[in-house]
Amino acid sequence: MVMALDGIKILDLSRLAPGPYCSMLLADFGADVLLVEAAPGTNAKLGAARNADARAAAYNALSRGKRSIALNLKDPAAKQVFYDLVKGADVVIEGFRPGVVKRLGVDYATLAAINPRIIGCSISGFGQTGPYSNLVGHDINYIATGGALGVTGNAGQPPAIPINLVADFAGGGLMGAFAICVALLARERTGRGQDVDMGMSDGVLSLMTSAFTGFFANGSTIRPGGMVLNGASHFYGVYETKDGRWFSLGSIEPHFYAALCEVLVLPEIAGHQHDQTRWPEFKVKVAAVMRTKTADEWMAIMSERDICAAVVLEQENVVTNAHNLARGMVVEVDTAIGKVKQIGVGPKLSDTPGKPTKGAPTLGQHTDEVLRTLGLSDTRIAELRTSGAVG
């Protein structure tokens, strides 16, 4: 089966979630991703080495479909191996703090001198430039800076903290994969590679494009629980049901709202959808009615009436949900310990679909294989292992 990114060779130096997710997305569509991992004993600041446990690798979905070579990039011999790999590569991904790759001698300028067609992608918290570029941080700090954290939660309460989806996976990994594909397309026209500077806080702010439209137009601001889309209204929010689960309503359009009022048998709120002074009162009424039936009962009723609604699925129910299964979003992947379940591929391409091809490698699983493709003899490989240059 032809895959969209067949023939694209990627060297992935990244360690934490954004980079591995970025290269996983590309591997799922056929890219040959080689993890360039820290050899045992390498400085922990460059990323702790993974263990060699086959079961841990099998369930490591972010590294699925990839190969692994372990190099100590502080060793000149290992660095030369990396340079040789760059000669035949299309993309290098890294997720170190700004300045680290320069000190290691694997920065974009160095790599482009070896291979002018190479595309570099640096995924960092605040980007390679600007006053925050050298600050440490995690997802919560990047969504704070990018504006996403400040619009979540309920009025009068601290912002709600999501798990690390918005900055790490969307603002960093997903945006990085998109940028790499754009750079690959540009290279088809120019013949040249280029450097991608993907700051996660930038990615978050890009995701906030629509949210800032009103601010730029008339100075209006969004506060937690202060607008329809973040919980201010009674017709767009979550409610507890009879069985203690949560249920989401999103009946924004007038015809959906009218149908919701009918199903809830609340004629007193019909015709008053946009009376914001009564939203708190209406929330109480809707909440009381929602507690009279189970989440599944409400889903059956509302789906028949064409109302924007859905059960808030807990993780154990997400992976057994009929729709998610029908869409191929839970798959079985072949690994060293047999088939294991993982989350499937989001984008559905009709002609060159993506597919997880195999499980993740163990640390350095393909070191010897890769070194042989570079022309190194078994004797030389053994010497590199003995010196600690490779693992």
Average pLDDT over residues 184-203: 98
pLDDT value at residue 288: 98
pTM of the model: 0.95
Kindly report, residue by residue over 216-256, the tens digit of the pLDDT.
999 999 999 999 999 999 999 999 999 999 999 999 999 99
**C-alpha 118 chain-centroid distance:** 23
Average pLDDT over residues 166-182: 98
- Nearest-angstrom CA–CA distance, 295 and 246: 7
| CATH-assigned architecture of domain 228-240+246-311 | 2-Layer Sandwich (3.30)
**Looking at 30-34, 45-49, 136-140, 247-251, which range is the least confident one?**
45-49
Confidence of residue 53 (pLDDT cuts 50, 70, 90): confident
Q: Which amino acid is at 338?
A: G
- Nearest-angstrom CA–CA distance, 138 and 16: 10
Average pLDDT over residues 76-99: 98
- Nearest-angstrom CA–CA distance, 70 and 347: 31
State the chain's mean pLDDT as an integer.
Answer: 96
Please, where in the chain does CATH 3.30.1540.10 lie? Answer: 228-240+246-311
Position 60 pLDDT exceeds 70: yes
Is 3.40.50.10540 the CATH number for 9-207+328-387?
Answer: yes
Q: Enumerate residues 6+ apart whose C-beta is below 8 A from 33.
A: 10, 12, 23, 24, 26, 27, 65, 66, 67
168 is annotated as an active-site residue: yes
pLDDT value at residue 54: 87
Instruction: Tell me the percentage of the chain whose pLDDT exceeds 70.
Output: 97
DSSP, collapsed to helix, strand or coil, labels residue 391 as: coil
Q: Are 10 and 91 in contact (CB under 8 A)?
A: yes
Kindly report, residue by residue over 258-306, the tens digit of the pLDDT.
999 999 999 999 999 999 999 999 999 999 999 999 999 999 999 999 9
pLDDT value at residue 312: 98
Treating both helix axes as pointing N-terminal to C-terminal, what angle do 200-207 and 139-146 enclose, rounded to 10 degrees? 50
Average pLDDT over residues 82-87: 98
Q: Give the position of tokens 């130096």.
A: 13
Catalytic residue among 75, 138, 195, 334: 138
Confidence of residue 44 (pLDDT cuts 50, 70, 90): very low
Please, where in the chain does CATH 3.40.50.10540 lie? Answer: 9-207+328-387
**Looking at 130-134, 153-157, 255-259, 326-330, which range is the least confident one?**
153-157
pLDDT value at residue 43: 59
Kindly report, residue by residue over 6-28, the tens digit of the pLDDT.
999 999 999 999 999 999 999 99
Position 48 pLDDT exceeds 50: no
Q: Are 66 and 10 in contact (CB under 8 A)?
A: no
- Nearest-angstrom CA–CA distance, 81 and 210: 46
Residue length of the chain: 391
Position 47 pLDDT exceeds 70: no
**Looking at 43-52, 128-137, 222-231, 253-262, which range is the least confident one?**
43-52
Kindly report, residue by residue over 105-122, the tens digit of the pLDDT.
999 999 999 999 999 999
Catalytic residue among 12, 32, 139, 168: 168
Listed as own residue / partner, the contacts of 59-63 with beta carbons closer than 8 Å and 24 or more positions apart are 59/340, 59/342, 60/359, 60/360, 61/24, 61/333, 61/342, 61/343, 61/356, 61/360, 62/17, 62/20, 62/21, 62/24, 62/360, 63/20, 63/24, 63/35, 63/360, 63/361
